[in-house]
Amino acid sequence: MGQSTSVLFVCLGNICRSPTAEAVFKQKAADAGLKLVIDSAGTHGYHIGKAPDKRSQAAGVARGYSFKGLKCRRVDESDFEKFDYILAMDDSNLSNLRGMSPSQYQDKIKLFLDFASVEDKEVPDPYYGGKRGFELVLDLIEEASDGLITHIQQS
């Protein structure tokens, strides 16, 4: 048996989209009987040490996901070596990650919604919007999580 497959979800602030992805994917991986290392981080450091946004938590908890213990952190140089999948929420996160990563790890960096059958591959930033944005984030993340689980099971 090798080491566990590891997945890092990345957004801008690490308080809305990527912690939601971490919470949803942890639940779905556990339901599928997969033992994975799952974490999230932000490309920027506005909210380091803080819990996920209350609106993200409320929307996610209403669908049965747990945000317990999640704390905002910034993407670190060591993440590129450590994680097998480094999954960006939008194109801006993707290009920031590509700019930060050593060349040998570039292939690990992808858009999370590459694993969802949706046309627009970005999870829209819900931070400055209303409740519907947080529901959309969850819809997209649930679909991509199912796709990623199938992908990991097949590889």
Find the shortest distance in angstroms from Cβ 103 to ligand 4NP: 26
Residue 16 a catalytic site member: no
Find the shortest distance in angstroms from Cβ 17 to ligand 4NP: 3
Residue 17 a catalytic site member: yes
Phi/psi zone of residue 11: left (φ > 0), alpha (ψ -120 to 50 degrees), beta?
beta
Residue 98 a catalytic site member: no
CA dihedral (28, 21, 10, 68) in degrees, to 10, reads -100
Choosing from 17, 39, 72, 79, the catalytic residue is 17
Choosing from 11, 39, 55, 79, the catalytic residue is 11
32 burial via Cβ count (<10 Å: 0-12, 13-18, 19+):
middle
Q: Which residues of the chain form contacts with ligand 4NP (CB under 6 A)?
A: 11-17, 46, 125, 127
By beta carbon distance, the residue nearest ligand 4NP is 13
Q: State the Cα angle at 25 between 80 and 46, rounded to 5°.
A: 55
Find the shortest distance in angstroms from Cβ 81 to ligand 4NP: 23
Of 12 and 70, nearer to ligand 4NP (C-beta) is 12
Find the shortest distance in angstroms from Cβ 2 to ligand 4NP: 32
Of 34 and 51, nearer to ligand 4NP (C-beta) is 51
Q: Would you state the structure tokens that stand for residue 4, as one six-digit string?
A: 């566990």
Of 48 and 118, nearer to ligand 4NP (C-beta) is 48
Give the integer Cα–Cα distance in Å for 144 and 150: 10
Nearest by Cα to 73 from 99, 101, 40: 40
Q: Which residues are catalytic?
A: 11, 17, 125
